[in-house]
Amino acid sequence: MDILILWNELCWPLLRLIFFMAIGLWLGTFIEALNWTHRVAVLATPLIRLGHLSPLAGASFSMAFFSGVTANSMLAEAYERGDIGKTELICSNLFNSLPTYFLHLPTLFLLAFPLVKGAAVIYVGVTLLAAMLRTLVTLLVSRMMLAPKFIDDTAVPVWRNQSFNELFWLTLRKLYQRMKKIICFTVPIYTVIFLVQRWGGFVLLEEFMVEHVYFLSWLHPQSLGIIVLHLAAEFTAGLVVAGALLDSGVMGSRDIVIALLVGNVLSSPVRAVRHQLPYYTGIFPAKIAMELIVYNQSFRFVSIIVVSLGYYFYPVFL
């Protein structure tokens, strides 16, 4: 295999992933060390009270608007310390669906709007509704499954007798311990995924999925091209084709939106393996990481199907 390919497609992306994971992990640990959890959680206080979640879940929710790694590292640390149980960990992770969506929203919209114009607004609106639905359902489920919590806004800092400099180096030492685990899990998994991709494993999976989409015969005939590219490449490739079909008048905005939503749903398993698995297994225990990925993708899968069906049968925009 060419050295340049190894560097560009494996080494550099892996180094970048580990670097940003390290920054996110350290930031999450540092926020907790300074006892800023309650302050950061202010944004989500009404929601965490509704869902019987802890302030740490609220802090993670707030941080997820800026860094998913930081948000998840805060949950992982709390779970390992025993501050939250498995049920609250899962609910808190699902609760972060909305801010995680907003984190990627600018890139999504700025990429889609020049290509599919008004259809981008509708697509973003529908997927945003799905994220809001996931958050609402998560809060209702967590309210039923978790006991109410007393939120003490006057909590005393855990390390109040230590200086800022001492906390800084203490969190770096903790980061060093965590990074050993991250490297042990993330590097091999990321490498295996890279090799599977290079050897055509994902192509075979995508071809299998494409060959079994006979149940999508109700779609516009040209939609399959968008869906196939959504599966075989990335979101951008599907958008380019969608833009061309829209400009030529072959497909309308409604057909474009439905095709993009179907492609979004069908690409969920591949996206989970490619993007979530390497860094989730570095942050959470392996078994918990797999469970969180399954819950995340399943919940996302169902929510997008629900709002897509709503849009298909009762379109707000024509």
Q: What is the pLDDT along the chain (318 residues), one digit of tens a residue?
A: 577 777 777 777 778 777 877 777 777 676 666 665 556 566 678 888 889 998 888 888 888 888 888 888 889 888 988 888 999 999 999 999 888 888 888 878 887 888 788 888 999 999 999 999 999 999 999 999 988 876 555 444 444 455 667 667 777 777 777 777 777 777 787 777 677 767 766 566 556 655 666 656 566 666 676 777 666 656 676 777 788 778 777 788 888 888 888 888 877 777 777 778 887 888 888 889 999 999 998 998 899 999 988 888 876 544
pLDDT of res. 140: 94
pLDDT of res. 154: 47
Measured CA to CA, the distance from residue 37 to residue 29 in angstroms comes to: 10
Measured CA to CA, the distance from residue 259 to residue 167 in angstroms comes to: 51
Is 60:25 a contact under the CB 8 Å cutoff?
no
- Quote the tokens at residue 251: 């497909």
Total domain count for the chain? 1
Structural domain of residue 283, as residue ranges?
Answer: 16-149+163-313
Amino acid at the residue 253:
S
Q: Is residue 296 part of a domain?
A: yes
Spatial neighbors of 160 by CB under 8 A, at least 6 apart, are: 35
Residue with tokens 């290079």: 198
Residue with tokens 């997820």: 64
Is 210:196 a contact under the CB 8 Å cutoff?
no
Measured CA to CA, the distance from residue 244 to residue 40 in angstroms comes to: 44
Angle at 286 between CA 283 and CA 291, to 5 degrees: 100
Is 135:98 a contact under the CB 8 Å cutoff?
yes
pLDDT of res. 155: 47
Measured CA to CA, the distance from residue 84 to residue 154 in angstroms comes to: 20
Among 226, 279, 255, smallest CA distance to 13 is for: 279
- Quote the tokens at residue 292: 């969180």
Separation in Å, CA 259 to CA 24, 37, 235, 248, 262: 35, 41, 12, 16, 5
Q: Is residue 141 part of a domain?
A: yes
Residue with tokens 């709503």: 310
pLDDT of res. 88: 93
Q: Is residue 244 part of a domain?
A: yes
Is 111:235 a contact under the CB 8 Å cutoff?
yes
Please count the other Cβ atoms lying within 10 Å of the Cβ belonging to residue 78.
23
Q: Is residue 32 part of a domain?
A: yes
Q: Is residue 3 part of a domain?
A: no
Q: Is residue 288 part of a domain?
A: yes
Q: Is residue 206 part of a domain?
A: yes
- Maximum separation of any 2 CA atoms in the chain, in Å: 68
Burial of 114 (0-12, 13-18, 19+ CB in 10 A): exposed
Measured CA to CA, the distance from residue 234 to residue 107 in angstroms comes to: 14
Q: Is residue 11 part of a domain?
A: no
Q: How far is CA 182 from the centre of its chain?
A: 18
Rounded to the nearest 5°, which phi and psi values hold at 55?
Answer: -55, -30
